[in-house]
């Protein structure tokens, strides 16, 4: 159980190498064992047959030597055995057990040999056995009878054969006359076996190593791409879709790699798309939120303006008559004072009266301007005529109008008007009012010996109808505080002293630019300066006509 779990837990490489190596090893051991066994057996058989051959040859050649019990004949015979390293000893005995000749040392205790010898004496055949001698030395001992041929007379033979075969006049009978005993050393056999075993073990090791090497190579060839794949998929699973599995295989693994590449590519694409969607969505949300904000601000602004407009209309209506009276009477009085001076008044008094009434007239005119400005908020004041105008020319006129004032304040004017400005539909008087207010505002904000820059240029196709014209009035004055930026377009917002500004200039300008379908914006930094930008669309005639139609229908209700 634990082993199984471990096997399944092992790395692929180990999983392949271990069992295959084990299998190869077992096979090799079994095979080598079997081969060694066979080899050793065949060595033994060889030894045995060698011994047999030798002993039989010796027995034949020793016949006469034994018959005559002549060591002189037997000794040279046995000495030929010394050529064979495997022969340990050899002895020849007669029937009485006396050793006639011998070679080598008999290392085997006699009692161990006795049984074999007895057997050999009894038998007419070869008797052999392996016997462990002194010092643990193993010997292969053979015992073989030496026999001689005796010619037997037919008489004697007839009795034995029953006289059946008369043609056999004489026959031979072999008679044992001694024994020959040969001891052969098993050492060489054992040595050969040991050599074989060593070789087998060596071979086994080599084969095993080679197997392991080959298996590792094969497994590597299989596992390496798999490892790469595993690493790649791991990266992909962690969100790194840029991974590309390099492969030049065309097999299943190569196909798997290609599939993974395709998968990661499509994942990458999907993620990019999702990110793209997210980004566009975010951008859209931001854009829409801004639009909503803008719309809301504009709504609030226009509601505010609407309310102011209504109020202004009412106020104007009520104020203009008394103002008319005041202005008229002041002028009337002035005229009268000029024409017929009452007798009793001194010239000095007259001068005083003239100044008083003159002041009344002047201030009434101021009031008139204020009320007129106020009225611009009223919807009913929108019905101004639009003509084909050259805005650069309008700006030029404005500049000529304010230049004197600027010079008095030691403020330089730098004018950079674009030369390619087209004409557009607008009201020159109103636009001049806007420009005048912007320049005067800049002048009020500027220190002496500074420059006010006025630029204009044409943006070709920015607007929907033939582009836009942009005007900038740039000063390096005291700037506008952040919290005031939002308020400057509101009516009656002013930071100027009472009497110097009414706070209507920019709100009127705003209304005028809106009527022209344009934009007026401001960029300001405290103590660095302010830039007012007016953008007017070119060619909006049709739309303006629509607006005036709407105004007419509204107007009938308001009267």
Partner 1 sequence: MAKILIVDDSKVIRDLLTEFLGELSYQVDSAEDGAKGLKMASDGGYDLCICDVHLPKLNGYQILTELGEARGKMQFIFTDSLPDELADQIRKTTGFACLGKPFDLHQLTEIITQSLEKIHT
Ligand X SMILES: Nc1ncnc2c1ncn2[C@@H]1O[C@H](COP(=O)(O)OP(=O)(O)OP(=O)(O)O)[C@@H](O)[C@H]1O
Q: Which residues bind Mg ion (CB under 5 A)?
A: 437, 441, 505
Q: Which is nearer to partner 1, 419 or 557 (CB)?
A: 557
Give min distance, CB of 506 to Mg ion, in A.
Answer: 6
State how beta strands 171-185 and 99-104 pair. unpaired
428 three-state secondary structure: helix
Whole-angstrom Cα distance, residue 134 to residue 117?
18
Residue closer to ligand X (CB basis): 308 or 480: 480
Tokens in use for 143?
Answer: 């015992």
Q: Which of 193, 378, 392, 502 binds ligand X (CB under 6 A)?
A: 502
> DSSP assignment, residue 68?
T
Of residues 40, 372, 423, 494, which one binds ligand X by CB under 6 A?
494
CB of 389 to ligand X, least distance (A): 23
Binding site for partner 1 (CB under 8 A): 313, 316-317, 320-329, 331-332, 335, 364, 367-368, 372, 375, 378, 380-381, 383, 551-552, 554-556, 558-559
Provide the minimum distance between the beta carbon of 522 and Mg ion in the complex, in angstroms, as a whole number: 13
d(CA 413, CA 439): 10
DSSP letter assigned to residue 136: G
- One of 358, 397, 503, 555 touching ligand X (CB under 6 A): 503
- 58 or 439: CB nearest Mg ion: 439
Specify the residue, 130 or 492, whose C-beta has the smaller distance to Mg ion. 492
> How many H helices and E strands in the chain?
14, 12
Q: By CB under 6 A, is residue 54 in contact with ligand X?
A: no
Nearer to partner 1 by C-beta: 192 or 326? 326
Look at residues 382, 438, 392 and name the one whose alpha carbon lies nearest to residue 419. Answer: 392
* Both structure tokens of 45: 């058989």
With respect to Mg ion, which residue has the nearer C-beta, 202 or 492? 492
Closest residue to bound ligand X by CB = 505
Q: Tokens 């074999």 identify what position?
A: 116
> Least distance to ligand X from the beta carbon of 376, Å?
12
Q: Give the nearer residue to ligand X in terms of CB position, either 467 or 479.
A: 479
Selection from partner 1, ligand X, Mg ion, none that 460 binds (CB < 5 to 8 A by kind) is none
Q: Distance between CA 253 and CA 246 in Å, rounded?
A: 11
Cα dihedral sign, 27-31-37-43:
negative
Q: Shortest distance, CB of residue 305 to partner 1, whole angstroms?
A: 16
Partner from partner 1, ligand X, Mg ion, none contacting 148, C-beta within 5 to 8 A by type: none
HEC string of 317-360 equals HHHHHHHHHHHHHHHHHHHHHHHCCCCCCCHHHHHHHHHHHHHH
Least distance from ligand X to the Cβ atom of residue 425, Å: 25
To the nearest whole angstrom, how small is the minimum distance from the Cβ of residue 371 to partner 1? 9
Nearer to partner 1, 31 or 326 (CB): 326
Site for ligand X in 424-463 (CB under 6 A): 437, 441-442, 445
Instruction: Pick between residue 521 and residue 558 the one whose CB is nearest to Mg ion.
Output: 521
Spatial distance between the Cα atoms of 51 and 86, rounded to a whole number of angstroms: 9
**Two tokens, residue 204:** 């086994």
Provide the phi-psi class of 135: left if phi over 0, else alpha when psi is between -120 and 50, else beta: left
Pairing of strands 171-185, 138-152: antiparallel
**Would you say 178 or 505 has its CB closer to ligand X?**
505
Task: Give the distance from CA 394 to its chain's centroid.
Answer: 62
Q: Which entry of ligand X, partner 1, Mg ion, none binds 556, CB below 5 to 8 A by partner kind?
A: partner 1
Among 131, 431, 488, 512, which residue interacts with ligand X (rule: CB under 6 A)?
Answer: 488
Q: Which alpha helices (H) appear in 238-251, and where do they start and end?
A: none
Closest separation between CB of residue 321 and partner 1, Å?
Answer: 4
Confirm if 455 and 419 have CB atoms less than 8 A apart.
no
The DSSP element (H or E) to which 496 belongs, if any, is none
Q: How far is the CB of 304 from partner 1 (least distance, A)?
A: 20
Q: How far is the CB of 496 from ligand X (least distance, A)?
A: 4
Among residues 90, 504, 520, 534, which is the contact residue for ligand X, using CB under 6 A? Answer: 504
Question: Is residue 446 exposed (0-12), middle (13-18) or buried (19+ Cβ within 10 Å)?
Answer: buried
The nearer residue to ligand X, 227 or 494, going by C-beta atoms, is 494
Q: Which helix (H) or strand (E) holds 423?
A: none
Q: What is the DSSP letter of 24?
A: H
Q: Which residues contact 532 (CB under 8 A, 6 or more apart)?
A: 438, 441, 442, 472, 473, 520, 521, 522
Q: Which of partner 1, Mg ion, ligand X, none is residue 225 near (CB under 5 to 8 Å by kind)?
A: none
How near is the Cβ of 530 to ligand X at its closest, in Å?
A: 4
Residues within the interface to ligand X (CB under 6 A): 437, 441-442, 445, 475, 477-480, 488, 493-496, 501-507, 530
């Amino acid at each position: 159980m634990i082993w199984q779990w471990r096997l399944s837990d092992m790395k692929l490489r180990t999983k392949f190498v271990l069992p295959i190596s084990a299998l190869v090893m077992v096979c090799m051991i079994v095979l080598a064992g079997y081969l060694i066994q066979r080899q050793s057996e065949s060595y033994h058989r060889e030894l045995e047959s060698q011994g047999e051959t030798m002993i039989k040859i010796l027995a034949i050649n020793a016949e006469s030597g034994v018959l005559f019990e002549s060591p002189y004949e037997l000794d040279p015979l046995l000495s030929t055995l010394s050529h064979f390293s495997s022969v340990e000893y050899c002895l020849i005995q007669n029937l009485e057990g006396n050793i006639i000749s011998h070679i080598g040392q008999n290392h085997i205790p006699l009692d161990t040999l006795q049984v074999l010898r007895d057997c050999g004496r009894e038998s007419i055949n070869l008797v052999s056995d392996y016997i462990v001698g002194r010092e643990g030395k193993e010997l292969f001992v053979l015992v073989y009878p030496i026999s001689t041929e005796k010619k037997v007379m037919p008489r004697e033979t007839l009795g034995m054969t029953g006289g059946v075969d008369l043609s056999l006049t004489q026959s031979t009978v072999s008679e044992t006359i001694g024994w020959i005993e040969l001891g052969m050393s098993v050492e060489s056999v054992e040595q050969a076996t040991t050599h074989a075993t060593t070789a087998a073990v060596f071979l086994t090791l080599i084969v095993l190593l080679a197997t392991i090497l080959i298996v590792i190579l094969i497994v590597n060839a299989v596992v390496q791409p798999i490892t790469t794949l595993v690493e790649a998929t791991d990266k992909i699973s962690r969100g790194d879709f840029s991974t590309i599995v390099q492969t030049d295989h065309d097999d299943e693994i190569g196909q798997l790699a290609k599939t993974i590449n395709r998968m990661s590519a499509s994942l990458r694409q999907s993620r990019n798309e999702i990110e793209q969607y997210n980004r566009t969505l975010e951008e859209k949300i931001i854009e829409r939120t801004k639009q909503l904000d803008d719309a809301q601000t504009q709504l609030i602004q226009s509601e505010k303006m609407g309310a102011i407009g209504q109020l202004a209309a009412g106020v104007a209506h009520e104020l203009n008559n008394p103002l008319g009276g005041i202005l008229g009477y002041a002028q009337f009085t002035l005229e009268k004072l000029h024409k017929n001076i009452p007798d009793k008044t001194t010239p000095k008094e007259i001068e005083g009266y003239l100044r008083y009434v003159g002041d009344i007239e002047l201030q009434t005119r101021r009031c008139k301007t204020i009320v007129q400005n106020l009225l611009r908020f009223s919807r009913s004041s929108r019905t101004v005529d639009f003509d084909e105008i050259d805005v650069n020319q309008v700006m030029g006129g404005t500049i000529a109008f304010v230049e004197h004032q600027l010079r008095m304040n030691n403020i330089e004017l730098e004018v950079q008007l674009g030369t390619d400005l087209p004409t557009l539909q607008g009201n020159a008087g109103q636009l001049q009012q806007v420009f005048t207010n912007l320049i005067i505002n800049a002048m009020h904000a500027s220190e002496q010996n500074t420059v006010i820059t006025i630029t204009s240029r044409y943006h070709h196709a920015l607007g929907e109808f033939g582009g836009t014209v942009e005007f900038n009035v740039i000063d390096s004055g005291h700037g506008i505080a952040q919290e005031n930026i939002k308020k400057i377009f509101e009516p009656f917002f002013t930071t100027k002293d009472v009497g110097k500004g009414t706070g209507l200039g920019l709100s009127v300008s705003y209304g005028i630019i809106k009527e022209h379908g344009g934009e007026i914006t401001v960029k300001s930094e405290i103590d660095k300066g302010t830039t007012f930008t007016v953008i007017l669309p070119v060619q909006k005639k049709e739309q303006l006509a629509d607006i005036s139609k709407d105004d007419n229908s509204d107007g009938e209700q308001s009267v």
